Amino acid sequence: MQAVRKELGEIIFDLNNNELSTRFNEHANSIGELILHIGEVEWWWINCTILGNKLTESDRQNVFWDILKNRDFASKNFSVQDCLKIIDQIRELTKEVLANFTDGDLERLFCYETSWSNGKHGASLRWILHHLIDHEAHHKGQISMTKRLIRN
């Protein structure tokens, strides 16, 4: 998780606020939206799945919540440092939660429900961690490609 986050930081460090908000076409997400989406997904898996908390209206007010759906990132005028601060705060929560687990908990199942799938599902702690790493790495690739496209 730390390696992928470090690589993400290396890709985005020199972007200005305008570049963070730019979409290379009308259907694409901006780099800033993708960065906050990475945090949104991590926050959901940790808070709503591992900790078992229900999503509240207060949670929905978080700047990262539904960021890909709302598409209002540009209005925030966030810098790279702002985006990194948000996702790094989420990562600190993740580390605090994970500190309560051992290697023996990796196969422990956590149940969850989503609005986009029917019924309850289960995922092991190992799968959740793998998913978080894979998800961030996937979007890191999108961010890298988007940066190249908006700078050409």
CATH code of the domain in which 48 resides: 1.20.120.450
15: containing domain: 2-151
Q: How many CB atoms lie within 10 A of CB 40?
A: 21
- Secondary structure letter of residue 77 according to DSSP: -
Strand bridging mode 120-124 / 109-113: antiparallel
Distance CA 87, CA 5 (A): 9
Could you list the pLDDT tens digit for every one of the 152 residues in the chain?
A: 999 999 999 999 999 999 999 999 999 999 999 999 999 999 999 999 999 999 999 999 999 999 999 988 999 999 999 999 999 999 999 999 999 999 999 999 999 887 767 778 999 999 999 999 999 999 999 999 999 999 98
> How many separate helices (H) and strands (E) can be counted in the chain?
6, 2
Quote the CA–CA distance of 105 and 115 in Å, as a whole number: 27
Per-residue confidence (pLDDT) for residue 16, from 0 to 100: 97
| Residue 144 token pair | 């890298």
- What's the structural domain count of the chain? 1
For 88, residues 6+ apart whose C-beta sits below 8 A from its C-beta are 5
DSSP per position, 109-131: EEEEE-TTSSSEEEEEHHHHHHH
What confidence score (pLDDT) does residue 79 get? 97
Q: How far apart are CA 138 and CA 115, in angstroms?
A: 23
